[in-house]
């Protein structure tokens, strides 16, 4: 599925020679770079052809791609239970984890892209584009659901020990498939580790409303979103799920706050109505909070929390409420985002360092890589369960999984670039004309929403 | 199931009435237990040292928790009454008879360790969530005025996708009730199986239980990690077990759980 209409007029899609190529993996990068200059002229080997075709558009905010790629790889690693590598992902940095990062950046990117698009094409057209995207996500979720169901059926056949009578109830939906399928279609039935995509679907489905509100007043949108967040937390509101009495693991009524904050900031990058202040005091607070969060989480993980708090006082923080997005979590993400934005500019040459490119291209194809990651963590877990979970197997599963994700992202980037090439007019001016449009259009080059 | 047991030895202090009661209990045990106990009680033949070696777990899985009411019962020679409050796996699912379940074995194990009368009452019902268990806590546990509750929970909640916060609230409320009544709490978490990890995410629920333990006087019995250890060591791996072996291995598992629980309680009480 290609992105709608983005292909023909990408002012930033410079010829390969102008921008350095992307290595498939860090190890292969030198080879790719060596052939970079030749790649534009002569057709060399497949790998370098792919590398040469993938360009880093100069106008694009690579920070979004990078951090979303990071979140996607971390989600893959964190979703393999018992994975020792998961002790080194971003969830160990503090209260928040890859889920917050993913939702925040998705909100930011949606705000950035669709705000500009709605100015260009009108709100109705942009809304239809959002909903088209929602449909893609929905279909992807259902495919993952089918894979999971096959997995459960296969596993439960080999798992009928009366000892585990309660555990076996997880397969009880196989006894009433008509209900299970209906509940899955309604997004109420979400198998384990398949919660975040439905959250994203719901958030994006209501995004046109948020976009309309943002166009009216950003402060009002923020206030409304915060009010909904507080109401949901105060009155324990959540969407119903399947089986009976279950609720959404990621409560959309609370998580929308992070998405909306991201969208407002994203929408404001161009008109500067809501600029992010560069303030040393703010920076100091953010750094202090991030450090506090790191220390608290570290001590908690290592059962040394008593060093910091008297008995029971940590109850105020732990366990941080992920379902309802506790304040500890989302303020931590905002603090990290502020520190990042303060020190890492969008045009920083660091972002063009070859070692980061695998993450960047993953972030540029987030839907595909996200779904692939969910599938791969299933597959990886099956390997660990059925074959062995000693450290070599763990390293193998993580390594192969990451390599496949990065490899597929590279192929997608190459495919997309190649697909676009014949249709690209030599010097078509951007239709919007305004120079401010360059960034969002650049973002559309990869599937950014 | 209510058996009162007594063996020789002398606790630190013992009132006269307690001695009389103890003597009576001893007489009862000598006569009634051999006469009426099911065969499984008498014929279990694994020598203690061998069993201890088989059931060994790494030190970091052994809680150094503190059971204050059980300890004061021990110090004053009061009977130790324990309620096992769990779901199917505590009721004995998978073991061939209910007497193979760890609750019954714990009774035997503890009566061999202590001189005070020990009584273990099993109040487990399959398929209940923590919330449902908290609701029947007053009727099924507090009314028996035990010294200690072994509260096994978490499986039904994680399988049924119960909101983690709700699970935590149920546990905290339960602990609050029990602490107010002067009852010690040992929390026991889920059973391990490699394949379970494919289907259920226990993580948030075990974390929540750990948090409740950290924030109260309750103690954790980490059954999940102990079973993982026994499975990884190849001693009790239920995932690829021939059907014929299942019942006997399940009985062995319950023996190990009883032994580890006994160790834990003894340590906490004698501290």
pLDDT digits 0-9 by tens, B103-131: 999 999 999 999 899 999 999 999 999 99
Q: What is the rounded CA–CA span in Å between residue B123 and residue B101?
A: 12
* pLDDT band of B15, cuts 50, 70, 90: low
Chain A neighbors of B156, CB-CB under 8 A: 166, 169
Please name the residue of chain A whose CA is at the shortest distance from the CA of residue B249. Answer: A163
Chain B neighbors of A312, CB-CB under 8 A: 215-216
Per-residue pLDDT reduced to its tens digit, A152-179:
787 777 667 788 888 877 777 788 888 8
Query: What average pLDDT does this structure show over B19-31?
Result: 55
Q: What is the pTM of this model?
A: 0.77
Q: What is the rounded CA–CA span in Å between residue B26 and residue B4?
A: 8
Q: What is the rounded CA–CA span in Å between residue A100 and residue A94?
A: 12
**Per the CB < 8 Å rule, is A166 touching B200?**
no
Chain B neighbors of A389, CB-CB under 8 A: 194
What is the 3 state secondary structure string of chain B? CCCCECCCCCCCCCCHHHHHHHHHHHHHHHHHHHHHCCHHHHHCCCCHHHHHHHCCCCHHHCCCCCCHHHHHHHHHCCCEEEEEECCHHHHCCCCCCHHHCHHHHHHHHHHHHCCCCEEEEECCCCCCCHHHHHHCHHHHCHHHCCCEEEEECCHHHHHCCCCHHHHHHHHHHHHHHHHHCCCEEEEECCCCCCCHHHHCCCHHHHHHHHHHHHCCCCEEECHHHHHHHHHHCCCCCCCCCCHHHHHHHHHHHHHHHHHHHHHHHHHHHHC
Of the listed ranges A4-8, A58-62, B195-199, B265-269, the least confidently predicted one is A4-8
- Whether the pLDDT of residue B41 is over 70: the answer is no
Per-residue pLDDT reduced to its tens digit, A246-299:
889 899 999 999 999 999 999 988 777 777 788 999 999 999 999 999 998 888
Q: What is the rounded CA–CA span in Å between residue A331 and residue A333?
A: 5
Please name the residue of chain B whose CA is at the shortest distance from the CA of residue A309. Answer: B215
- Whether the pLDDT of residue B27 is over 60: the answer is no
Alpha carbon A97 to its chain centroid, in Å, reads: 11
Provide the pLDDT for residue B165. 87
Rounded to the nearest integer, the mean pLDDT of chain B is 84
Of the listed ranges A426-430, B23-27, B134-138, the least confidently predicted one is A426-430
pLDDT cut 90: percent of chain A above it: 42
A318 → closest Cβ in B156, B162, B211: B211
DSSP-derived letter for residue A277 is P
Higher pLDDT among residues A61 and A77, named by residue: A77
> Hey, of B64, B102, B163, B203, which one would you mutate to test binding to chain A, going by the most A CBs within 10 A of its CB?
B163
Q: What is the rounded CA–CA span in Å between residue A215 and residue A271?
A: 12
Per-residue pLDDT reduced to its tens digit, A207-249:
999 999 999 999 999 999 999 999 999 998 999 888 777 889 8
The backbone region for B119, taken as left when phi is positive above 0, alpha when psi lies in -120 to 50, beta otherwise, is: beta
CA dihedral B192, B259, B66, B19 (to 10 degrees): 150
Chain B neighbors of A318, CB-CB under 8 A: 211, 214
Chain B neighbors of A171, CB-CB under 8 A: 199
Using DSSP's 3-state secondary structure scheme, residue A365 falls into: strand
Q: ipTM, 2 decimals?
A: 0.73
Alpha carbon A107 to its chain centroid, in Å, reads: 10
Task: Output b/e per residue, B182-205; b: 16+ Cβ within 10 A.
Answer: ebbbbbbbbbbbbbbbbbbbbebb
A246 → closest Cβ in B88, B162, B165: B162
B195 → closest Cβ in A159, A165, A389: A159
DSSP string covering A40-59, please? HHS---HHHHHHHH----TT
Of the listed ranges A83-87, A344-348, A367-371, B9-13, the least confidently predicted one is B9-13
Closest by alpha carbon to B57, among B197, B237, B241, B257? B257
**Contact with chain A for residue B164, Cβ under 8 A:** yes
Query: What average pLDDT does this structure show over A120-132?
Result: 94
CB pairs under 8 A between A and B: 115
Sign of CA dihedral A31, A36, A38, A42: positive
Q: Are B130 and B153 in contact (CB under 8 A)?
A: yes
CA angle A243, A248, A254 (to 5 degrees): 160
Rounded to the nearest integer, the mean pLDDT of chain A is 80
Maximum average pLDDT range among A309-323, A364-378, A421-435, B169-183: B169-183
CA dihedral A161, A162, A165, A168 (to 10 degrees): 20
A385 → closest Cβ in B164, B197, B207: B197
Provide the pLDDT for residue A247. 85
* pLDDT band of A45, cuts 50, 70, 90: low
Backbone angles phi, psi at A159, to 5 degrees: -140, 35
Token code pair at residue A387: 């074959």
A43, with CB counted inside 10 A (0-12, 13-18, 19+), is exposed
Chain B neighbors of A155, CB-CB under 8 A: 195, 198-199
Provide the pLDDT for residue A41. 41
Provide the pLDDT for residue A294. 93
Provide the pLDDT for residue A159. 66
Q: Are A58 and A14 in contact (CB under 8 A)?
A: yes
User: Which H or E element spans position A102?
Assistant: helix A98-121
Does A243 sit behind a cis peptide bond, omega within 30 degrees of 0 on the bond before it? Answer: yes
Per-residue pLDDT reduced to its tens digit, B175-187:
999 999 999 999 9
Residue with tokens 């003894």: B266
Token code pair at residue A287: 């750094």
Provide the pLDDT for residue A17. 34
**Contact with chain A for residue B133, Cβ under 8 A:** no
Q: Provide long-range contacts, Cβ within 8 A and 24+ apart, for A183-190.
A: A183/A242, A184/A142, A184/A145, A185/A142, A187/A141, A188/A239, A188/A240, A188/A241, A188/A242, A189/A145, A189/A241, A189/A242, A190/A241, A190/A248, A190/A249
Higher pLDDT among residues A235 and B41, named by residue: A235
Provide the pLDDT for residue A420. 77
pLDDT cut 70: percent of chain A above it: 79
Query: What average pLDDT does this structure show over A417-428?
Result: 64
Q: What is the rounded CA–CA span in Å between residue A192 and residue A68?
A: 22
**Per the CB < 8 Å rule, is B161 touching A151?**
no
Per-residue pLDDT reduced to its tens digit, A69-91:
999 999 999 988 878 888 888 88
Does B243 sit behind a cis peptide bond, omega within 30 degrees of 0 on the bond before it? Answer: no
Closest by alpha carbon to A369, among A396, A404, A400, A398? A404
* pLDDT band of A340, cuts 50, 70, 90: very high
Give the sheet arrangement for strand B80-85, strand by strand: B118-122, B80-85, B148-152, B184-188, B219-221
**Per the CB < 8 Å rule, is B200 touching A159?**
no
Output the CA–CA distances (angstroms, integers) from residue A387 to A86, B194, B252, in the order listed: 20, 11, 25
Chain A neighbors of B230, CB-CB under 8 A: none
């Amino acid at each position: 599925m290609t992105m709608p209409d983005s292909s023909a007029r990408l002012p930033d899609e410079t010829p390969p020679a102008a921008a350095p190529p992307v290595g498939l993996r860090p190890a292969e990068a030198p080879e790719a770079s060596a052939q970079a200059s030749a790649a534009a002229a002569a057709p060399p080997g497949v790998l370098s052809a792919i590398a040469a075709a993938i360009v880093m558009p100069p106008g694009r905010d690579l920070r979004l791609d990078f951090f979303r790629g990071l979140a996607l790889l971390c989600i893959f690693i964190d979703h393999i239970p018992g994975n020792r590598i998961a002790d080194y992902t971003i969830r160990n940095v503090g209260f928040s984890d890859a889920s917050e990062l993913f939702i925040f950046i998705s909100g930011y990117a949606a705000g950035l892209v669709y705000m500009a698009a709605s100015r260009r094409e009108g709100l109705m057209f942009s809304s239809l584009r959002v909903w088209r995207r929602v449909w893609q996500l929905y279909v992807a979720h259902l495919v993952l659901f089918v894979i999971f169901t096959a997995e459960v059926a296969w596993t439960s056949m080999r798992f009928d020990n009366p000892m585990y009578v309660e555990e076996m109830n997880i397969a009880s939906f196989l006894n009433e498939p008509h209900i299970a399928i209906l509940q899955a279609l309604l997004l109420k039935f979400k198998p384990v580790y398949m919660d975040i995509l439905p959250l994203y679907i719901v958030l994006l489905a209501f995004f046109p409303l948020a976009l309309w509100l943002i166009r009216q007043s950003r402060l009002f949108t923020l206030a409304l979103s915060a009010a909904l967040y507080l109401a949901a937390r105060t009155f324990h509101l959540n969407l119903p799920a399947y089986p009976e009495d279950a609720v959404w693991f990621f409560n959309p009524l609370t998580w929308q706050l992070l998405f909306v904050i991201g969208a407002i900031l994203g929408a404001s990058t161009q008109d500067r109505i809501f600029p992010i202040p560069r303030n040393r005091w703010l920076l100091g607070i953010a750094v202090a909070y991030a450090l506090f969060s790191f220390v608290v989480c570290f001590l908690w993980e290592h059962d040394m929390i008593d060093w910091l708090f008297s008995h029971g006082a940590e109850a105020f923080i732990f366990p941080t409420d992920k379902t309802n997005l506790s304040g500890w979590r989302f303020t931590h993400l905002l603090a990290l985002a502020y520190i990042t934005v303060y020190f890492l500019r969008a045009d920083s040459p660091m972002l063009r360092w070859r070692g980061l490119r695998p993450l960047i291209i993953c972030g540029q194809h987030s839907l595909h890589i996200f779904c692939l990651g969910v599938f791969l963590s299933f597959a990886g877990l099956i390997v660990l369960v059925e074959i062995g979970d000693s450290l070599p197997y763990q390293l193998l599963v993580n390594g192969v999984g990451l390599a496949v994700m990065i490899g597929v992202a590279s192929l997608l980037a190459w495919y997309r670039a190649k697909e676009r090439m014949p249709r690209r007019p030599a010097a078509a001016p951007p239709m919007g004309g305004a120079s401010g449009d360059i960034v969002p259009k650049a973002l559309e080059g990869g599937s950014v929403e | 199931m209510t058996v009162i047991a007594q063996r020789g030895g002398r606790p630190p202090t013992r009132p006269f009435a307690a001695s009389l009661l103890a003597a009576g209990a001893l007489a009862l045990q000598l006569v009634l237990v051999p006469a009426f106990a099911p065969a499984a009680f008498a014929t279990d033949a694994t020598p203690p040292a061998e069993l201890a070696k088989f059931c060994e777990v790494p030190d970091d899985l052994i809680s150094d928790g503190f059971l204050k009411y059980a300890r004061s019962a021990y110090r004053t020679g009061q009977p130790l009454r324990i309620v096992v409050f769990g779901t199917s796996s505590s009721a004995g699912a998978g073991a061939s008879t209910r007497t193979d379940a760890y609750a019954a074995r714990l009774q035997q194990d503890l009566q061999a360790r202590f001189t005070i009368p020990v009584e273990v009452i099993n109040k487990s019902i399959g398929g209940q969530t923590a919330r449902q268990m908290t609701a029947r806590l007053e009727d099924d546990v507090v009314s028996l005025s035990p010294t200690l509750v072994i509260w096994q929970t978490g499986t039904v909640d994680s399988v049924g996708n119960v909101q983690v916060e709700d699970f935590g609230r149920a546990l905290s409320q339960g602990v609050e009730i029990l602490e107010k009544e002067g009852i010690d709490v040992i929390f026991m978490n889920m059973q391990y199986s490699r394949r379970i990890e494919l289907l259920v995410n226990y993580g948030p629920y075990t974390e929540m239980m750990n948090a409740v333990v950290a924030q109260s006087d309750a103690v954790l019995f980490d059954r999940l990690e102990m079973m993982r250890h026994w499975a990884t060591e190849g001693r009790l791996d239920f995932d690829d077990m021939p059907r014929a072996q299942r019942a006997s291995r399940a009985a062995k598992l319950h023996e190990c759980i009883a032994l580890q629980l006994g160790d834990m309680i003894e340590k906490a009480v004698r501290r």
